[in-house]
Every structure is written in structure tokens, then in C-alpha cells.
Chains A and B, each alone.
Chain A
């Protein structure tokens, strides 16, 4: 009897336990692969999830937000390009999160940070932010973001200026908003404004994935600002644009051309603005999942 028990215990210890440990590890690896290659999940429409939350809408909004953020983070860490379906899922998730708790700031910040810069869904981002403006009436940041989008991405300076003025009128909003609104109305220093905007977003963002992304974009825009400033000086002296940007270095206006962290080449557009061939987005990597 005693020997049988020892035998069973030894079997458990020597066979079953190692087998369990191996299978446990393998199953986690398998799950990682399944997650990597799986299409984006499904987010229940808010009309249903608000009911199914059973009074815990706030908690459910936290969970759904975390899910959307993890989904993006997962793709980002593995340097997988987000497909159109991925972005659909992401944008819809943020919409549902803000239906569950329209006062929740994070989805608006994340939406502004990604839907505009990464996927050019300006109207989706603006619609999300306008929803937030209806609820977070004390928050100057949301009209500020909408104003920035109109100015920078949509080149609609009048509307952008209107939103910034709206933001400036909110109590406790920073003093620079009013002057910024006026500056935008005259259209100037576009890259400088974007640098300023990104610096401010970066300072208030806790998410590491978003910080890295914004940091890279900030670096690219700072490079553009540097070249634009040198170009301005060149024009003042020579009353003409240089034939190539290398001319700025040769004439001593720039020590060297800054690197575009996205790997693009700097060019002067016909309207005199400096731009990069990378368009400040990462070169496409394989997206095996989609």
C-alpha cells in the first residue's frame, strides 16, 4: 500500500508535473501566436453593453479601454502595421468606451494621439472629441485638440481658430491658447505649432507606447522646424529658395541636415514648406496577422 502511494507520488513528480510545466509553457506560446494572427476582436455596441454592465458601466469602460490599448500595444510592440480592420476595431472600441463613460478622458487623448497621426481618420477623431466636449464642458483640451486637427491636418484654419478660441474661453485654460488661435488664423509656423502640441501631449501622457510614438514624431517635427528656420534665413538673405536642402548646410545655415527618424528624405514643397518623403509614418512592415 505504502509502496503504491510512493509510486503514484513519484509518477506525479517525475512525469505529470514536468508534462504540465511543458504544456503550460507551450499553451502560452500558442496563445501568443493566436493573438498575433487573430483578426481584431468584436466590441459589443454600447446600447447592449450599457445594459449588460449591470450598473458597472464605469468599470466596463475601463476594461474595454484597456482592451483597445492592449490591442494597439500588442501590434505596436511586434511592429506590425495596423490594418484598416484593426483601426476600425480600435476606433469603434473608443466610441463604445466613451458611450459607457462619456466623461472618461483617456479614450479621447488616445484617439487624438493615434486616429489622426497614424491613420488619418480626422473626422472620426473629431467626432469622438466633440462627443467629449458635450460632457467634459470644463476641459479645454478637447476643443484644443479639435482645433489643432482642423488647423494641422484639415488645413481649415478658420474652424481651427474657432475651436481654439472656444478652448481659450474655458476657465483655467492656459493663456497661450488665445494667442495661438490668433496665430493659426494667419497660418504660420505650422511645424512649430505641431511641435508645441506634441510636447504638451507628451508631458501629460503616461502610456509608454504612446510616448515612444509621439517622441519619435516630435523628433521628426523638430528636424522640420530646424530646416524651416534655416530656410527662412536663407530666403531673407538670398530672396530665393535653395535648389536643394544641402545648400543650407554648404552655406552654413545648418551644421547638418537633421535625420528623419522615419527614414525619409527632406524636401521643399512648392508652397515653401519643408516635408519628408516618409510623411512621418513608419515604413510598412509585414502584417502577417491581417
Chain B
């Protein structure tokens, strides 16, 4: 079974690499990294923070583009072009198909991130060498940890893409739903904490029912903000291992849950 899942993952990943949009995404990320070298000098003291901010933003944004514009296509292509009939006619269970596709997407995201990380590390090292006194709090280990959590965040987003691909018939709907889930997931924490702080301060800015609705939404949509270690990486702030383990467990748990649900739904789906 593992062999079949791995084979499908490899095919999916190779197909993704062949996509020409990949060059655009890589070029964009490299442009931002280059821009970092030019822009760093505009700042006064915290050049290390600015450099890490820009690098992590480039990696994470390139990852988002990859998931939204390549991974969704890779999932939809089989169904749109009906090549899925060919795959499923082989000794492949639908569960294996879902997991194979998912691991393919994750492999694609990880290999792209790994490539970009090489360039990013070179950029950080270069700016570090140019302005050594302005990198006081910088720590490579926290920087790499932040990248690892960006990868986990993108892996979770891939699971969302697989889930919506399993239940919808159009890649556009998958794109809309995945983007909406991401946007809600990444902003929800900030909105909820803001509403709570306003309520605690005695200022009524929104109705109680809105807050309750958002709290229910918070149970459904993954909290993408939890994976964000950019501030910690930018300032070299210490990270507690309990926090990291909790967030990693939360991410992997959510991924497994989504893949399981996607498999259940996909098994019942009929293809014309």
C-alpha cells in the first residue's frame, strides 16, 4: 500500500514541478529575496528583523501561491480530464488515491521550500555579513524552526485543498473555499482576541452573538496564526518546547482529520 501511495505522490510531485507557473513563483520569491538586500540598508538598527521578516514572508507567500495555483490544479486535473478513471481502474483504493495525492502535494511544497530556503539562507547570511552589528538577536535555529512551521502550515493548507477537492466538482470552488478557509484561519485569532479585549475593557464593539458565532467558527477552521513564528524568528525570542509540540500536534491532528473525512467522502463519490 505504501508503495502505491508513494508512487502516486511522486507522479503528482513531478507533474507539479513541470508546471510553468512554478518558474513564476520561484522568480517572484527570488525577487523578494533580492529586494531584501537592497531595502535592508533603509532601516536604522533592526536590520536583522527586517531581513528575517522579508525572507519568511517570501517563503510563506511563495508557498501560498504554490498551493493555491498549482496544487489545486493538480488535484482538479484528474477529475476534469477524467484521467482519474484510469488511476482508479488500477489496483488503487480511493483512500490510497487521496493520501497519494496529498503526499505528492506536500512533497512538491517541501521541495520548493527547501530550494527557496537555500537562497533565503544565503540572503540572510549575506545581509548578516554586510551589517554584522545589526543582527543582535538573530538565531539560525529559530529561523529554521519558523520555516519548518511555515511548511506545516502549508501542509495543512494542502490537506484543506484535498478535502475540498474531494467534495466539490469544480477547481474554482475548491480555490474559493480553500482561500476563504485560509483567510478566516489566519485572521480569526486576531479578531477574537480583539473582541475579547474590548469586552474586558467594558467597550461593546460587537454583539455577543457575533462573538459566539466566531468562537464556533474557531472550532471548525484551523487557526493558521498558531503556526506563525515570524515575530519570534525576527527577534530571536525563545520558544517553549511545549508550545511548539502543541502546535505541531494540532497541525498534524487537523491534517489527519481532514484526510480521513476526505477519504470517507471520496469513497462515496461517483464519477461520470
Contacts and interface: CB of A to CB of B under 8 A. Distances in A.
Contacts of B41: 206
A55 B44 contact: no
Contact of A103 (B43, B49, B194): B49
B97 interface: no
B interface majority secondary structure: helix
Bin chain B's interface residue count: 20 to 34
A59 to B, nearest CB: 5
Interface stretch (A87-95, A104-112, A246-254, A264-272): A104-112
Contacts of A65: 43
Nearest to A141: B45
A259 B182 CA distance: 62
A54 B41 CA distance: 26
Interface string B31-46: 0000000010111111
Interface in B100-152: 134
B44 A210 contact: yes
A106 B45 contact: yes
B46 A55 contact: no
Interface in A69-120: 69, 101, 103-106, 109-110
A51 B193 CA distance: 11
Most chain-A CB neighbours within 10 Å: which of B42, B43, B46?
B46
Interface stretch (B17-25, B224-232, B259-267): B224-232
A62 B194 contact: no
Interface string A45-75: 0010011101111110110011001000000
B186 A59 contact: no
A105 B54 CA distance: 16
A47 B231 CA distance: 17
A58 B60 CA distance: 13
Contacts of A54: 183, 186-187
Contact of B225 (A55, A58, A66, A204): A55
Contacts of A56: 57, 60-61, 230
B68 to A, nearest CB: 13
A109 B45 contact: yes
Nearest to B150: A55
A66 B42 contact: yes
A228 B108 CA distance: 71
B176 interface: no
B27 interface: no
Contact of A207 (B44, B50, B56, B183): B44
Nearest to A204: B45
A205 interface: yes
Interface in B221-272: 224-225, 228, 230-231, 234-235, 237
A117 to B, nearest CB: 16
B199 interface: no
Most chain-B CB neighbours within 10 Å: which of A55, A204, A207, A210?
A55
Contact of B53 (A62, A105, A207): A62
B190 interface: yes
Nearest to A69: B42
Nearest to B133: A204
Contact of B50 (A57, A62, A103, A210): A62
A62 B43 contact: yes
B191 A58 contact: no
B225 A109 contact: no
A51 B191 contact: yes
Contacts of B190: 50-51
Given A55-B60, A55-B186, A206 B234 contact: no
Contacts of A61: 53
Contacts of B230: 55-58
Interface string A234-253: 00000000000000000000
Given A55-B225, A207-B43, 10 more contacts: A51-B190, A54-B186, A57-B231, A58-B49, A59-B53, A62-B43, A62-B53, A104-B46, A106-B46, A109-B45
Interface of B: 39, 41-47, 49-50, 52-54, 56-57, 60-61, 134, 183, 186-187, 190-191, 194, 224-225, 228, 230-231, 234-235, 237
What are the 7 tightest A-B residue pairs by CB atom distance, in nearest-first order?
Answer: A58-B53, A103-B235, A105-B46, A59-B57, A55-B186, A207-B44, A206-B44
10 contacts: A51-B191, A55-B224, A58-B53, A61-B53, A62-B43, A105-B49, A109-B44, A110-B44, A205-B44, A207-B44
